[in-house]
Chains A and B, each alone.
Chain A
């Protein structure tokens, strides 16, 4: 049982910190949910990639540093502590890339990963449909066999950042008459600017086009853009879902940095007695999440799969994130009403509100915890 870093890990931390100190922009970038912000974030990620900091855990060949889980955690702590920008490429980096490592071909990895690492090709996740939310397997968009590939038709929705992104990945029904809904699905990648694709941005609560609806009308996708075997898309997609909820979606460094900023704000604001306990809880929660993640990483490094424990993570961070931002806004008092309230708290608050909804709603996660971790009987859903 120990929490000390090896000299190599410490040197890595120092190197990351020095680079970030020299490069993190002094003023925050514009919101990445705007066209101008999107461009600014792409440029930032290109700079990160130039010095191999955009995807530290990937193999060298694809632009990474081939560093293990502990160094990835260390890097994330430094990244967020330095006040570096949110990642526009995160859907690709956190969701598609792990899927390609597990199920893609060598050709796909070589073609897709390096431009993803550089922010040149930004990816959107096209899973949800108007009639397929929590019950994702009920999806109806089709993939029909064509010469050398597939024709995609149907409607996807809530696709984060699709308003400005370049390509998307998602599930399509390739065999219409299977006995079970999660059979006969194929996992494909497609171009958001291909003929037959219409992207309609949707404003989130604050009106920013943070996600979009996609209308697909016989969009051609070549065979090279199928991930895994046609028909086995559900299995491929579920390995991505595990990543999303588990270790990679929310590194503890992000919350540690936010909790530090909140505590500093509280001290600056005269140690406001009304928010004191909630500020303390934010500090405690960030520490708990960090240590929980270190324990999970330690188990993972010893060969244990992540499994349903990721559902504990997902509910914890999503509720934590809201509480943290609500506390900051309350501490700011009347100033907290301003959408651009100091320190990005307003923007962060709007973003946090969606946490319990995406990546599998918290109700669905609690069902997984109840059945698979507590062994409770299956209920009527």
Chain B
């Protein structure tokens, strides 16, 4: 019983934070949203070099994992820096392909995920109607919603045929939503696909929860800094109790979501993961509302970087299971992965 990160895990978070702080991540987020993926892909490689994606890939396929606690630690940092791209989806695809009965597929795809060379995205039952960043991912997987389970690769190798016409703007400009592609090569069918998909949804929810927690922490930090230096009525606005108490509430919500995320990473139990997703996304979203309010009008502009986290908090709330769907799972009243 020692429910605390160990020194290596803390150091790993620090080095990721240092990398992302030095990398001008906000510029990469903005260009990604505008359809120019070069800076985001470069960032992806550097994140992969630190081992982030390898942590989701079993050692047998050139990975370091699976290590869900470390993945959660990493995704908190990705959220804190609003890193763009289908990172949750890539990790979920790795979880799907790690299903032991899909070993032949693991061999084909996972080494590329571990090294950072392959950016993946996927559509799963239980995950919503869109594939994230389907215009840029190297591999797009799709699982059929039929009870039998049918796994296809809808596209392999990115190319100009990605077709920006399929892209729908998300409330978060840096998330590019696409409708799943029909057809493609049939990779596997039956129970292994169903089991792998359920496992993948748990990883997707866990990584989303961790990312949301990071988004919330960043919003709180930036807002605390802002209200200390913005003065009105001759004093910093952070000295007004109405302001201080809203920030205290944000702090409470985030600090109680954090152990749920880490606890869910330890157990990977569907109800625990769903609980973490609800708590982290609600805390991040409430913090976003507070951050916007306490910044005043500047917070309401696309020019100011705060917007990158504000819109992300909203998007993550509905990604990979709405609050309602996840609450149903907590009560044992809903399907974990949409297969009923």
The B221-245 residues at the A interface (CB cut-off 8 A) are 224, 227-228, 235-236, 238-241, 243-245
Q: Which residues of B sit under 8 angstroms from A291, Cβ to Cβ? A: 3, 259-260, 262-263
The yes or no answer to A269 lying at the interface (CB within 8 A) is: no
Q: Which residues of A sit under 8 angstroms from B330, Cβ to Cβ? A: 280, 283-284
Q: Which residues of B sit under 8 angstroms from A283, Cβ to Cβ? A: 275, 330-331
The yes or no answer to A315 lying at the interface (CB within 8 A) is: yes
Docked CA distance A365–B249 (Å): 10
The yes or no answer to B300 lying at the interface (CB within 8 A) is: no
The A236-295 residues at the B interface (CB cut-off 8 A) are 263, 266-267, 271, 276-277, 279-281, 283-285, 287-289, 291-292, 294-295
| Contact status B248-A277, CB under 8 Å | no
Query: Of residues A3, A284, A316, A379, which shows the largest number of chain B Cβ atoms within 10 Å of its Cβ?
Result: A284
Docked CA distance A11–B5 (Å): 26
| Contact status B251-A3, CB under 8 Å | no
Chain B positions 248 through 278: 1 when the CB is less than 8 Å from some CB of chain A, otherwise 0? 1101100111111011001100001001001
The yes or no answer to A18 lying at the interface (CB within 8 A) is: no
The yes or no answer to B191 lying at the interface (CB within 8 A) is: no
| Contact status A9-B251, CB under 8 Å | no
The yes or no answer to A52 lying at the interface (CB within 8 A) is: no
Residue from A2, A363, A366, A374 in contact with B3 in the complex, judged by beta carbons closer than 8 Å: A2
Docked CA distance A263–B331 (Å): 7
Query: Of residues A1, A3, A316, A380, which shows the largest number of chain B Cβ atoms within 10 Å of its Cβ?
Result: A1
Work out how many contacts link A and B, with CB atoms closer than 8 A. Answer: 145
The yes or no answer to B297 lying at the interface (CB within 8 A) is: no
Assuming the contacts A1-B262, A277-B327, A369-B252, asked whether A374 and B1 have C-beta atoms less than 8 A apart, the reply is: no
| Contact status A287-B272, CB under 8 Å | yes
| Contact status A374-B266, CB under 8 Å | no
The yes or no answer to A333 lying at the interface (CB within 8 A) is: no
Q: Within the complex, what minimum Cβ distance (angstroms) separates B17 from chain A?
A: 19
| Contact status A295-B4, CB under 8 Å | yes
The yes or no answer to A70 lying at the interface (CB within 8 A) is: yes
Chain A positions 342 through 377: 1 when the CB is less than 8 Å from some CB of chain B, otherwise 0? 000000000000000000000101110111011111
| Contact status B4-A288, CB under 8 Å | no
The yes or no answer to B324 lying at the interface (CB within 8 A) is: yes
The B93-118 residues at the A interface (CB cut-off 8 A) are none
Chain A positions 291 through 308: 1 when the CB is less than 8 Å from some CB of chain B, otherwise 0? 110110111001000000
Q: Which residues of B sit under 8 angstroms from A70, Cβ to Cβ? A: 1
Determine the residue in chain B with the shortest Cβ distance to A309: B255
Query: Of residues B240, B258, B262, B330, which shows the largest number of chain A Cβ atoms within 10 Å of its Cβ?
Result: B330
The B1-18 residues at the A interface (CB cut-off 8 A) are 1-6, 9
The A90-112 residues at the B interface (CB cut-off 8 A) are none
Residue from A2, A279, A284, A375 in contact with B260 in the complex, judged by beta carbons closer than 8 Å: A284
| Contact status A277-B324, CB under 8 Å | yes
The yes or no answer to B279 lying at the interface (CB within 8 A) is: yes
Q: Within the complex, what minimum Cβ distance (angstroms) separates A58 from chain B?
A: 21
Main secondary structure of the interface of B (DSSP, over half): helix
Q: How many residues of B contact A (CB 8 A)?
A: 47
The yes or no answer to A16 lying at the interface (CB within 8 A) is: no
Q: Within the complex, what minimum Cβ distance (angstroms) separates B249 from chain A?
A: 7
The yes or no answer to A312 lying at the interface (CB within 8 A) is: yes
Docked CA distance A367–B3 (Å): 28
| Contact status A3-B263, CB under 8 Å | yes
Docked CA distance A346–B1 (Å): 36
Q: Which residues of A sit under 8 angstroms from B327, Cβ to Cβ? A: 276-277, 280-281, 284
Q: Which residues of B sit under 8 angstroms from A284, Cβ to Cβ? A: 260, 275, 278-279, 327, 330
Q: Which residues of B sit under 8 angstroms from A4, Cβ to Cβ? A: 1
Query: Of residues B2, B243, B258, B323, which shows the largest number of chain A Cβ atoms within 10 Å of its Cβ?
Result: B2
| Contact status B331-A374, CB under 8 Å | no
Q: Which residues of B sit under 8 angstroms from A267, Cβ to Cβ? A: 331
The yes or no answer to A5 lying at the interface (CB within 8 A) is: yes
Determine the residue in chain A with the shortest Cβ distance to B278: A284
Q: Which residues of B sit under 8 angstroms from A380, Cβ to Cβ? A: 239, 241
The yes or no answer to B69 lying at the interface (CB within 8 A) is: yes
Docked CA distance A298–B4 (Å): 7
Docked CA distance A296–B69 (Å): 18
Residue from B244, B255, B331 in contact with A292 in the complex, judged by beta carbons closer than 8 Å: B255
| Contact status B262-A376, CB under 8 Å | no
Assuming the contacts A1-B3, A266-B331, asked whether A280 and B278 have C-beta atoms less than 8 A apart, the reply is: yes
Query: Of residues A281, A297, A378, which shows the largest number of chain B Cβ atoms within 10 Å of its Cβ?
Result: A281
The yes or no answer to B247 lying at the interface (CB within 8 A) is: yes
The yes or no answer to B333 lying at the interface (CB within 8 A) is: yes
Assuming the contacts A2-B3, A298-B3, asked whether A376 and B256 have C-beta atoms less than 8 A apart, the reply is: no
Determine the residue in chain A with the shortest Cβ distance to B323: A277
Residue from B238, B249, B279 in contact with A376 in the complex, judged by beta carbons closer than 8 Å: B238
Assuming the contacts A2-B3, A6-B1, asked whether A377 and B236 have C-beta atoms less than 8 A apart, the reply is: yes
| Contact status A292-B251, CB under 8 Å | no
The yes or no answer to B328 lying at the interface (CB within 8 A) is: yes
| Contact status A294-B259, CB under 8 Å | yes
Assuming the contacts A276-B327, A284-B278, A370-B248, asked whether A298 and B2 have C-beta atoms less than 8 A apart, the reply is: yes
| Contact status A370-B247, CB under 8 Å | yes
Q: Which residues of B sit under 8 angstroms from A6, Cβ to Cβ? A: 1
Q: Which residues of B sit under 8 angstroms from A371, Cβ to Cβ? A: 244
Which 7 residue pairs are nearest across A and B when measured between Cβ atoms?
A291-B259, A280-B327, A370-B244, A366-B248, A369-B248, A379-B239, A294-B3
CB<8 Å pairs between A and B, sample of 11: A1-B6, A3-B266, A3-B267, A267-B331, A277-B324, A283-B330, A288-B279, A316-B256, A366-B249, A370-B245, A377-B238
- A288-B257, A379-B240, A380-B239 given; 15 more Cβ-contact pairs under 8 Å: A3-B263, A3-B266, A271-B331, A281-B278, A284-B275, A284-B278, A287-B272, A287-B275, A294-B259, A299-B4, A374-B220, A374-B244, A376-B224, A376-B247, A379-B239
